[in-house]
Amino acid sequence: MKNIFKNIGPGALIAAAFIGPGTVTVCVLTGVEFGFTLLWAMVLSIIATIVLQEMAIRLGLVYGKGLAEAVRSEIPLKTVRIVAILLILSAILIGNAAYEAGNISGGMLGLETIFTESTVLIGSLELNYLSMLIAGIAFILLFIGNYKVIERSLVVLVILMSISFLVTAIVTNPNWIEVLKGMFMPSIPKEGVLAIIALVGTTVVPYNLFLHASLVKEKWNGKEELQAARTDLYVSIILGGLVSIAIIICAASIKNSEISNAADLAKSIEPLFGSFAKYFLSIGLFAAGISSAITAPLAAAYVARGCFDWELSLKSKKFRAVWMLVLLTGVIFSSVGFKPIEVIQFAQVANGILLPVIAGFLVWVVNKESVLGTYKNNKAQNAIGIIIVLIALVLGLRSLSKVFFDV
């Protein structure tokens, strides 16, 4: 058991990244509207995440390069390579900058259920000091530039988040037989398709593939430690999946159609289960927000480093400049309440295209013997990988239709 926790690291960062405010909101809405019925979709999402992230860590440890570097090295046609790099930069850098405001705001929602007064007036401008607090913590951890410090901090946040949501789910005392049926007996209720797509889309995240392939090289050296990296992956992502499932269970236990996010859920849960449950849920939401507020800028910086072949240092000026820009953008948008709709729509389009493209590229590159040798994909991994690519294509098309046709 001690060795398992010793090896926990990059996987916890990935779990911290995908359990952000967006995931929390999607899980809350799914639980409120469909109860336990769509828990199986979250189980499948976690399986898909594990399969793709395992390919990414193989690429990082065996090939010795991150996913962005692999795109640069393995796509032979210059025009295709340039288009791919531009797409990656657009989706990850611009996308993470746009979504960073949501990460910080999500952490603020958790704190606001505990601290009622959170704004200060500076002249005629009303600013939220909680966003400054969250951004300040993220800035300090990233500026230190020590991977172990970042890793340990996020492991603590993931554990805190896990305890918070799991305890709250247990306190709501759900019908556990119905929970198990929802997890392992798939059914699609009327109008449930979009909820299924949302659950998968918020869990299988493009930037996590880039982040994971880069992070494993920070902690481990070479293919000899691949098993340790896999253990980290399985433990962390399954724990992250249990957190998402716990959020759905919490929301399903509250029959209130006016709940639209976790902050509403925290307020609604107090009359039935006491302030104890409310505070646990609020702390969980805070941990989800701040952990994603740290990983989003970090991922953007790793992607930029891979695309432009910068030096391998978390303290380099270029690396810091990228995460600072992403973090600053999030602080500004969240502090003044500005919602950059056009930027977010652009990011959705870029991510909608990027997910199937990168998933397809990843499956292709981990099949190359020149890249992974004997560690290349087997037939079972390819079959699952192809199914995931097709799902990613559906998700991508759904994302594009939402932006262009609002359907």
> What's the pLDDT tens digit per position in 139-165?
999 999 888 888 888 888 888 888 888
Per-residue pLDDT, 205: 84
pLDDT 10s digits, 211-248: 898 888 888 887 888 898 999 999 999 999 999 999 89
User: What are the residues facing 120 on neighbouring strands?
Assistant: 127
Buried b (16+ CB within 10 A) or exposed e, 348-378: bbbbbbbbbbbbbbbbebbbeeebbeeebbe
The pLDDT score that the predictor gives to residue 104 is 85
Cα separation, 389 vs 366, whole angstroms: 14
Residue 80 — very low, low, confident or very high, per pLDDT cuts 50/70/90?
Answer: confident
Which percentage of the chain shows pLDDT scores above 70?
Answer: 84
In whole angstroms, give the CA distance from residue 137 to residue 346.
Answer: 28
Express each pLDDT in 43-65 by its tens digit.
Answer: 999 999 999 999 999 998 998 88
Average pLDDT over residues 20-36: 85
Structure tokens of 202?
Answer: 């918020």
User: What is the DSSP track for 59-113?
Assistant: IIIII-S-HHHHHHHH---HHHHHHHHHHHHIIIIIHHHHHHHHHHHHHHHHHHT
Instruction: Say how far apart CA 133 and CA 110 lie, in whole Å.
Output: 13
CA 320 to centroid of chain Cα atoms: 21
The reported pLDDT for the residue numbered 358 is: 86
Q: Is 118 helix (H, G, I), strand (E, B) or coil?
A: coil
**pLDDT score recorded for residue 116:** 65
**Structure tokens of 51?**
């399969």
The structure tokens 């070479």 sit at 222
Categorize the per-residue pLDDT at 92 as very low, low, confident or very high, splitting at 50, 70 and 90: confident
State the pTM of this model.
0.86
Tell me what pLDDT residue 279 has: 77
Strand partners, 127: 120
pLDDT of 7 over the 70 cut: no
